[in-house]
């Protein structure tokens, strides 16, 4: 469907969960995948798996909340491949968060969530945009969350950070559009991955499924095709948009 053959694609938080699935999907489609994660062994394992399937990939240890780490990481990509075509801002803090009322969230935890989930998207987009502007082509795809549409309680810092990603995407779309760069957000629903979440019981999961127009669990593969499409020439006139992929839980 999508044409990403030989595109250089950087995916943050690609050592596990959604990011790992995206990395494999892009590799299967012929892209050169940069597997970025703060967990270097996890990133290297994904790269090994991709190469075992004859795909092309590189591991890139990077802390998205650290300006120097992001700048150095993207410089390394450009030095190795001469360009950067696609950035998927996927790195995020969520599964380790405990559900608690807004007035019980430690300020340090609030700041950490904002640093990774929002500032990280800003930093990666900022430094990735430079080589994209030089080539006159680029795709920035930011992973937000369908909880923004729901206003879900007990995760106010996470919801706020993901709402910020949507606003950031829309503003960047205006600024980068003249250079042939599109910026869009994808809003996943609650997705089943290998990452354990102690705060979600089986009963809560089933309740979420019952809210969907398509009443089944959501998988990373349900999102990978959407991300792949946004990275392709087929989506060249689509920018500043927020695509919700939650099985029809919300309609906005």
Q: Give 216: exposed, middle or buried? Use CB within 10 Å, 0-12, 13-18, 19+.
A: exposed
Q: Which of 30, 15, 13, 12 is nearest to 228 (CA)?
A: 30
> How far is 2 from 225, CA to CA, in rounded Å?
9
Taken in order 174, 177, 181, 187, the sign of the CA dihedral is: positive
Taking the C-alpha atoms of residue 87 and residue 121, their distance in angstroms, rounded to an integer, is 10
Residue 175 half-sphere exposure toward CB, CA atoms < 13 A? 12
Within 8 A by CB and 6+ apart from 217, the residues are 192, 205, 209
Which one from 102, 122, 155, 158 is the annotated catalytic residue? 158
Catalytic residue status for 81: no
- The CA–CA distances, whole Å, from 40 to 46, 61, 66, 76 equal 10, 5, 16, 15
Phi-psi region of 151 (alpha: psi -120 to 50; beta: other; left: phi over 0): left
CA-closest candidate to residue 34, choices 124, 117, 169: 124
**Residues with catalytic function:** 158
């Amino acid at each position: 469907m999508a044409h990403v053959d030989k595109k250089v694609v950087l995916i943050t938080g690609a050592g596990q969960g959604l990011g790992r699935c995206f990395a494999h999907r892009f590799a299967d489609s012929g892209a050169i995948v940069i597997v970025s994660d703060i967990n270097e062994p996890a990133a290297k394992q994904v790269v090994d798996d991709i190469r075992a399937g004859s795909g092309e990939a590189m591991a890139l240890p990077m802390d998205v909340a650290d300006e120097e780490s992001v700048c150095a990481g993207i410089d390394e990509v450009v030095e190795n491949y001469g360009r950067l075509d696609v950035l998927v801002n996927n790195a995020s803090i969520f599964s380790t968060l405990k559900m608690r009322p807004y007035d019980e969230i430690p300020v340090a935890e609030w700041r950490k969530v904002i640093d990774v989930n929002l500032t990280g998207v800003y930093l990666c987009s900022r430094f990735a945009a430079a080589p994209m502007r030089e080539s006159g082509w680029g795709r920035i795809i930011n992973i937000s969350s369908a909880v923004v549409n729901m206003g879900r309680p007990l995760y106010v810092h996470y919801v706020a950070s993901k709402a910020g990603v949507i606003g950031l995407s829309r503003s960047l779309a205006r600024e980068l559009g003249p250079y042939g760069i599109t910026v869009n957000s994808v809003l996943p629903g609650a997705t089943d991955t290998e990452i354990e979440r102690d705060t979600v019981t089986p009963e809560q999961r089933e309740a979420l499924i019952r809210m969907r127009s398509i009443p089944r669990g959501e998988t990373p593969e349900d999102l990978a095709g959407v991300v792949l499409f946004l990275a392709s020439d087929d989506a060249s006139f689509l920018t500043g948009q927020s695509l919700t992929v939650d099985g029809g839980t919300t309609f906005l």
